[in-house]
């Protein structure tokens, strides 16, 4: 059998090689694609029926024609929302945000401790966690500071690319707490990461009993190092920073720990008060097509985008094609999941006149996505950058150019 495999492999490789040589001689290489592929040799011919393609590979890759990339800064990388389809973000395009780089952790040596107001403090290895009943759920994660505006040449990635969605697999935190036992006085728990920042947040114990998870897999594979390998905390609907990556410790308490991130980092002014412990991400939506830098023609256009809420399901999404004067219901792609990105569509016949298109979401609690003006009225002019979820508009020019619409609140 082994001999047969080797012979077959030899024949395919030789045939493939001959085909590539023949194609290279008889047919021109597509220079544009070869250029886009960078240093990779892609060997594209004008007629793929004339020679066999590449054989099976150990790890798949994207087509040379498809090259979506994140947009990195010093502290984060943004998901190219305008280049993705549906609601699942490819794992390598999930946004990144960390506070002291990505640690390298050996999963065979990593442990997570649960202690504090528990009956029996326990340490769990990654292998231990995988022995408990596994749970998978689809939900988004979003950075608390996911907002940018100010100029017209912004893509959806620029405006709010610090949100992504995956199918996460792991064990419910409540399952582990039943193993340790929890004192009746417990009100909060501390989650601590193994990164150089020792990222730490305090979280209500009610979230642990509700839907918190310790996850080790993302979209069918081990979570990526940038997402917390080998394990991270998952708090569906809560601020991204509270979903502690590279998790190493959970401590149960009857009062909040008031860590640096609790008090000075993820805290912001609301008029004459300071808002601290703002857990759930507010309902939000954005049109991802058409958007900058795309260009459209008059006639039928399917407006598409995503909407979500940290408090539950999306109830409805409305789209305006006249700058917010009138609103129409968009179609929601099923299934509509709780605390998850929901895909929406609206068919529009554009007459070629200049206009603006917008979307706004209402979640199952009745919360309606506000305008930037409404946010400023509720919070005061010095709103900071956290929990900014305003309705955003795209300008459609008569020549079909699509531009972001900046807004000024001061």
Q: Can you name the CATH fold of 77-275?
A: Sulfite Oxidase; Chain A, domain 2 (3.90.420)
> Could you tell me where in the chain the CATH 3.90.420.10 domains are found?
77-275
**Is 210 within 8 Å of 173 (Cβ atoms)?**
no
> Which one is predicted more confidently, 268 or 340?
340
Give the per-residue pLDDT at 37: 44
Taking only the tens place, the pLDDT of each residue in 213-250 is: 999 999 999 999 999 999 999 999 999 999 999 999 99
> Could you tell me where in the chain the CATH 2.60.40.650 domains are found?
284-405
Give the per-residue pLDDT at 361: 98
**Is 237 within 8 Å of 230 (Cβ atoms)?**
no
Give the per-residue pLDDT at 42: 61
Taking only the tens place, the pLDDT of each residue in 362-375 is: 999 999 999 999 99
Where would I find the beta strands (DSSP E) of 364-400? 393-396
> Which one is predicted more confidently, 7 or 88?
88
Nearest to 385 by CA among 396, 395, 372, 397: 372
**Is 101 within 8 Å of 196 (Cβ atoms)?**
yes
Give the per-residue pLDDT at 164: 98
Give the per-residue pLDDT at 15: 45
Q: How many Cα atoms occupy the beta-carbon half-sphere of 304 within 13 Å?
A: 14
Nearest to 23 by CA among 44, 37, 41, 39: 44
Strands 314-320 and 328-329, by their bridges, are: antiparallel
Lowest pLDDT segment from 6-20, 80-94, 330-344? 6-20
pLDDT(285) > 80 = yes
CATH class of 284-405: mainly beta
pTM for the full predicted model: 0.88
pLDDT(304) > 80 = yes
**Is 187 within 8 Å of 253 (Cβ atoms)?**
yes
Lowest pLDDT segment from 26-40, 49-63, 79-93? 26-40
DSSP string, 293-360: T-B--SEEEEEEEEEE-TTS-EEEEEEESSTTSS-EEPEEPSP--TTS-EEEEEEEEE-S--EEEEEE
Q: Is residue 144 packed enough to be buried (19+ CB in 10 Å), middle (13-18) or exposed (0-12)?
A: buried
Q: What percent of the chain has pLDDT over 70?
A: 89
Taking only the tens place, the pLDDT of each residue in 10-51 is: 444 444 444 443 434 333 334 434 444 444 456 677 888 998
């Amino acid at each position: 059998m082994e001999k047969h495999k080797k012979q077959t492999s030899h024949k395919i490789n030789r045939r493939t090689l001959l085909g590539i040589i023949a194609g290279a001689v008889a047919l021109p290489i597509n220079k544009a694609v070869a250029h886009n592929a960078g240093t990779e040799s892609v060997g594209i011919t004008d007629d793929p029926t004339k020679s066999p393609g590449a054989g099976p590979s150990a790890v798949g890759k994207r087509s040379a024609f498809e090259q979506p990339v994140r947009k990195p800064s010093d502290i984060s990388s943004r998901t190219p929302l305008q280049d993705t389809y549906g609601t699942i973000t490819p794992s390598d395009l999930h946004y990144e945000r960390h506070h002291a780089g990505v640690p390298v952790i050996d999963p065979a040596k990593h442990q997570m401790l649960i202690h504090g107001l528990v009956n029996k403090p326990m340490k769990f290895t990654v292998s231990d966690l995988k022995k408990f009943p596994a749970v998978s759920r689809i939900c988004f994660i979003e950075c608390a500071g996911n907002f940018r505006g100010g100029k017209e040449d912004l893509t959806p990635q620029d405006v709010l690319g610090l949100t992504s969605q995956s199918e996460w697999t792991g064990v419910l935190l409540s399952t582990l707490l039943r193993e340790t036992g929890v004192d009746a006085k417990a009100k909060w728990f501390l989650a601590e990461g193994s990164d150089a920042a020792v990222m730490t947040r305090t979280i209500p114990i009610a979230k642990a009993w509700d839907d918190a998870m310790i996850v080790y897999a993302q979209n069918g594979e081990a979570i990526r190092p940038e997402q917390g390998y080998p394990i991270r905390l998952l708090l569906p609907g809560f601020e991204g920073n509270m979903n502690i990556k590279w998790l190493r410790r959970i401590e149960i308490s009857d009062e909040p720990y008031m860590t640096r991130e609790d008090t000075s980092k993820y805290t912001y002014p609301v008029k004459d008060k300071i808002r601290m412990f703002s857990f759930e991400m507010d309902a939000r939506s954005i049109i991802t097509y058409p958007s900058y830098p795309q260009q459209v023609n008059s006639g039928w256009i399917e407006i598409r985008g995503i909407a979500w809420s940290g408090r539950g399901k999306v109830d409805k999404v409305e789209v305006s094609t006249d700058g917010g004067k009138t609103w129409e219901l968009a179609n929601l792609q099923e299934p509509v999941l709780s605390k998850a990105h929901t895909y929406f569509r609206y068919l529009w016949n554009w007459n070629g006149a200049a206009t603006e298109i917008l979307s706004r979401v209402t979640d199952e609690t009745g919360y309606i996505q506000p305008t930037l003006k409404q946010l400023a009225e509720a919070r005061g002019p010095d709103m900071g950058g956290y929990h900014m979820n305003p309705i955003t508009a795209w300008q459609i020019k008569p020549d079909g150019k699509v531009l972001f619409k900046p807004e000024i609140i001061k």
